[in-house]
Amino acid sequence: MAAKRKISTVSKILGLQIIVVLMICLGFYIVGGRSTVLSPFLGGIVAFLPNLYLALRMARVTGQDAQKIVRSFYAGESGKLILTAMLFFMIFQIPTIELLPLLTAYVAALSVFWFALIFRD
């Protein structure tokens, strides 16, 4: 009999971020058509990729001593902020980008953290 594999909270949050971004993109597709989907998709990417980076960085130090975990967390959080800024900088170079859909998906993906605190199991 196969043992049940418990999905980590971080994996659930990252998965929910993907679902939320896809729902936002679908909403903009329904309302504005194909041309409006790029902005919310990129906004979701800006929220998701830095969080994935931090999650992978923290997974590497699981079970290590506390000092190494804290150091890795600070380095990972710094890297996450730099990655976010770089992604926004690159996206704002695209002339057809729409700010409202971009920020809508970005904020919606980040709000997953807030709702995860409310609905934790």
Q: How far apart are CA 33 and CA 31, in angstroms?
A: 6
pLDDT of residue 4: 53
pLDDT of residue 120: 64
pLDDT of residue 121: 56
- Whole-angstrom CA distances from 17 to 47, 51, 63, 85, 95 are 8, 10, 26, 19, 26
pLDDT of residue 96: 92
pLDDT of residue 106: 97
What average pLDDT score do residues 79-105 get? 95
* Run of H or E residues at 37: none
What average pLDDT score do residues 61-79 get? 89
Reply yes or no on whether the pLDDT at 108 is more than 80.
yes
- Whole-angstrom CA distances from 41 to 4, 22, 50, 56, 97 are 33, 8, 15, 22, 11
Q: Which letter does DSSP use for residue 119 in this model?
A: S
Handedness of CA 75, 81, 84, 86 (dihedral sign): negative
* Run of H or E residues at 98: none
- Report the alpha-carbon angle 40-81-51, nearest 5: 60
Q: How far apart are CA 39 and CA 98, in angstroms?
A: 6
What are the φ/ψ torsions at residue 83 (nearest 5 degrees)? -60, -40
What average pLDDT score do residues 15-37 get? 93
